[in-house]
Chain A
């Protein structure tokens, strides 16, 4: 039986090596970001956030229009667009293309969207080899696990973990020097790049006015995946659209800074269609797979729609006191941290992830660092209300509801309230049941001898 949410949290908390790894890595990400969004480094940071939020809001409100405009422009450049309702449809597009081209080997660059649809597993099931080429993703694939973090998939691992893994999986000597581990991966993957028939990438942005896919990265693996093979397939959620190439002037300034503290990542690729006449190299085929995968469902609620503004920078994870303790694998789905806590219940249904909206201290750090200003705490509260409404409908958690009903009844009856308080002060609260669970992580404050009400009464009578 798979571990429950609580069990996974307990396992993560008990692992001191893992706790140090998460804490150290997120701390570095926090300080890198801080250095490049300061008032000195980027005076118009807040204006850029406001603009990014406005552009995303506008795009989501007009998503149908921009999708059609995007499609028209991709076709104009000789590319293909595939609309997919579900995960299985994405794999079908790749499988059909592979069959038509007689392809066996696929290289992939990092894409959270393809994680949503378990693409690698589906392709391998049909006899295709699909190799992750981002250094962290490659490690994650060798470990047969899923990314720990939106931008840093192997955030939870140390050089010693990688040394052990490479020794076991690749048969190389155990070497904890990260440079050498990189060289090993580069050697293995270079051959795959040159051999691959198809390259699959994600997309950070889809540009409607250009029919283009924008990909940001640091290693060069996305450039290789999209340049070396004869076919490039980009897989993207429909919410990745922005209206104009000129909007990248805003978004690129925010994405790299928020994610890793870089004013621009090493490579930013802006790809529109297959290689054109006269161009020396590049893919012969260019496909964009537009995935719904539950996104249209999220549009229905005007209050929560803004969840789709996310540009996947991961800043909310790094700054979240809960993520930094419970880690990425405690979360039940691809997306972890605060953004995962609001996306997962909306994608898989609140009834299937009822704990997530509560896995937050509502401190607001996530909203403060979000480059597109998603009000994550607000959405968490909305989702909490939905969880409680569902519980009520299903007749669950009756004790909690009874307690709050009693509280509500007394709170609007001052005399009853005063009497209950006086009574409660004298009666020790028994540490059993839900009270014991509450007290397991908290200390009951020591009450002074006299209550405020009593002191007030004395003062009046004196």
Chain B
């Protein structure tokens, strides 16, 4: 008997029944999506990110976003994701910014030495100040992780009210990507004396630029 068979047998035996032939029906998922206006979402998002010690700004247009990012990076070494939104806005054309990388090894080298990682986000969750990032040809995992500073430029229409709205819109993130990550503020630890220290393994500084 394999371990698999033995485990399933013991579960059924100890629950006092045989294998079930019909799918069990779980309690209805509890998802309440509040009505929050777009301007309130934007305000909430900025407030939350700032409360988490991140930087957050709202800009009117892609051109303004370019200006903000240029001001932060100052031409220093940056790696940007392949997001269409970043390219169209002109952020990938800024001096010092590498982009369009599709080779994993090359990307890793660039991320390990870059001062800034620049991405967009697939969604953002206003009530927790979180970015939602799907791994895809447009977005690599390491850009928001290895560089010491992460800059995320997000169109305002991708702001959701929170977790419940996300899971209502995307009931199964695994159908579209191998990796979904929520990023809520800069990397931190409180392992010693429960005192907060920022920037452990991930970026210690995060900028969220909401466009629109």
Contacts and interface: CB of A to CB of B under 8 A. Distances in A.
Contacts of B35: none
B48 to A, nearest CB: 9
A322 interface: no
Given A178-B197, A282-B178, 19 more contacts: A24-B194, A47-B30, A64-B12, A83-B3, A182-B189, A186-B200, A210-B175, A221-B200, A244-B29, A250-B29, A260-B190, A263-B128, A264-B125, A264-B184, A280-B137, A281-B135, A292-B10, A299-B11, A299-B14
Interface stretch (A223-231, A329-337, A431-439): A223-231
A393 B167 CA distance: 54
B104 A280 contact: yes
B189 A218 contact: yes
Given A246-B167, A248-B167, A252-B163, A209 B181 contact: no
Nearest to A283: B178
Given A246-B171, A278-B136, A280-B137, A152 B104 contact: no
A289 to B, nearest CB: 11
B205 interface: no
Given A47-B30, A264-B182, A269-B179, A89 B3 contact: yes
B53 to A, nearest CB: 11
B26 A55 contact: yes
A153 interface: yes
Interface in B104-139: 104, 107-108, 112, 125, 127-128, 130, 135-137, 139
Contacts of A278: 136-137
A340 interface: no
B3 A220 contact: no
B24 A280 contact: no
Nearest to A252: B163
B27 A58 contact: yes
B96 interface: no
B171 to A, nearest CB: 6
How many chain B residues sit at the interface, stated as a range, is: 35 or more
A30 B203 CA distance: 27
Interface stretch (B57-65, B67-75, B87-95, B140-148): B140-148
A350 interface: no
A228 B27 contact: no
B82 interface: yes
Given A64-B11, A68-B8, A223-B202, A246 B181 contact: no
Contacts of A58: 24, 26-27
Interface of B: 2-4, 6-8, 10-12, 14-15, 19-20, 23-24, 26-27, 29-32, 82, 101-102, 104, 107-108, 112, 125, 127-128, 130, 135-137, 139-142, 145, 163-164, 167, 171-175, 177-195, 197, 199-203
Contacts, number: 267
A115 to B, nearest CB: 16
How many chain A residues sit at the interface, stated as a range, is: 35 or more
A262 to B, nearest CB: 8
A272 interface: yes
A354 interface: no
A270 interface: yes
Interface string A51-63: 1001100110111
Contact of A152 (B6, B145, B194): B194
Contacts of A263: 127-128, 184
B181 A269 contact: yes
Nearest to A47: B30
Contact of B108 (A83, A185, A194, A262): A194
Interface string A15-33: 0000001001100110010
Contact of A62 (B20, B140, B199): B20
A97 B107 CA distance: 26
Given A158-B192, A248-B163, A280-B82, A273 B178 contact: yes
A255 to B, nearest CB: 12
Interface stretch (A131-139, A361-369, A447-455): A131-139
B120 to A, nearest CB: 14
A290 B4 CA distance: 9
A154 interface: yes
A268 B140 contact: no
Given A282-B179, A292-B10, A77 B174 contact: yes
Given A24-B193, A219-B189, A249 B29 contact: yes
Interface in A195-243: 207, 209-212, 218-221, 223-224, 227-228, 238, 243
B137 A212 contact: no
Contacts of A249: 29-31, 163-164, 167
Contacts of A186: 199-201
